[in-house]
Every structure is written in structure tokens, then in C-alpha cells.
Amino acid sequence: MENLINIGLFLTYLMIGIGALTAVFFGIKKIFQDSKNAKKTIYSLGGLLIILILSYVLASSEVLASYEKYNITEEASKRVGMGLTTFYILSILAIGTIIYTEISKVFSK
């Protein structure tokens, strides 16, 4: 029974990997086919990179005494803080964009 589960998990990981690689491949292919969209994509990726760098700089590497028993390093704490800060920034941007879009629709009619 355990062997069947292992095979199923392996096949699942394999299919997810193939799907992810296919999505990346076709995304890159599309970028090279249309230069106008390529420029927008590069700007978007650059903006995301700036947000990630800003989040890393703002993240604290402090490890609280209560977390020492879990062997959390300063670098791991900083990466977790970076992930949380990135999530907060992107969430605020998404919510702000939604609000701006809805308000502009109301006033444009």
C-alpha cells in the first residue's frame, strides 16, 4: 500500500513539474514573439524584484528566545520576514488597484 502511495506522489510531482515547465516555456516563447508585451513583462518583473529587495532590507533578522528551541537562524528569520513583508506590500497594492479601478469606473460614467 505504501509503495502505491509513493508512486502516486511521484507521478503527481512529475505532472506538476511538467506543467510548471510548460507554463514557463510558453511564457518565455510569448515574450520573444511580441516585443511590446516583452517590455511590459520586464517592467513588471523589475517592479517585483524591487519589492523583494525592499522587503529583504526592511525585514528583521531578530530571533526571539521562544523560537530558539526550533533552531531558527537569523537568515531564516529574515527570509520569513521578507516573505511576510512582500505579501503585505503586494496585498496593499492589489487592494488599492481594485479600489482605484472601481472608483474610476463610477466617475467615468
Same domain, 27 and 43: no
Asked if residue 1 has pLDDT above 80, the reply is: no
Same domain, 22 and 54: no
Q: Which three cell numbers stand for residue 30?
A: 510569448
The count of structural domains within the chain is: 2
pLDDT in tens, 24-72: 999 888 888 887 778 888 899 999 999 999 999 999 988 888 888 888 8
Q: Would the pTM of this model clear 0.75, i.e. be above it?
A: no
Same domain, 28 and 44: no
* pLDDT band (50, 70, 90) for residue 86: very high
For 55-68, b/e burial (b = at least 16 CB within 10 A) is: beeebeeebeeeee
Same domain, 104 and 51: yes
Same domain, 85 and 105: yes
Same domain, 1 and 54: no
Could you give the count of Cα atoms lying within 13 Å of 18 in the half-sphere of its Cβ?
6
Give the structural domain span for 62.
Answer: 35-109
